Amino acid sequence: MEMALFIVGIIIAFCLFFTALWSAIVFGFSHVSGWQNLASQYATPPLHEGFYTNVSGQVGLASYNNLLRIAFTEKGLYLHIMPFFQVGHKPLLLPWHQLRHWELTTSLFRKVVYCQIDGVRISLPHKYWGTLQSYLSAYA
């Protein structure tokens, strides 16, 4: 009986430790990437539909491979993270008129679109460039 309680205690302690460690790592990424700085100005309520999922991109120094949710709205570019990685990553709505320095380039054999907002560089896959251009010309 005591051994069973000990094993249950170990399992619970491991789950708590893993959850705390995971949360700390993901929260650290939100600071390193600049997401926290952007959230202080551009945080928004989450969208529940109308976004692309499993998008790869980069925010600041952090790569979010297949983790981004993005949407294009009249107000701006919406960015959020898949649920398991959301600690420290509030949804963002980046106004079109604030997104600057658009650049198309090839990075590690893939075409990407870069832009910058408040000193934070954001990259998205090239396949969204046409949609981005439409929204920029209409709302920026």
Rounded to an integer, the average pLDDT of 107-124 is: 90
Whether the predicted pLDDT of 104 surpasses 80: yes
Instruction: Report the alpha-carbon distance of residue 107 to residue 3 in Å, rounded.
Output: 54
pLDDT at res. 52: 94
Determine the pLDDT at residue 37. 93
Tell me the mean pLDDT in the region 78-107.
91
Residue with tokens 């997401």: 35
- Residue 105: CB atoms within 10 Å: 11
d(CA 31, CA 38): 10
Q: What is the pLDDT of residues 29-62, one digit of tens each?
A: 888 889 999 999 999 999 988 899 999 999 998 9
CATH says 32-139 is which class?
mainly beta
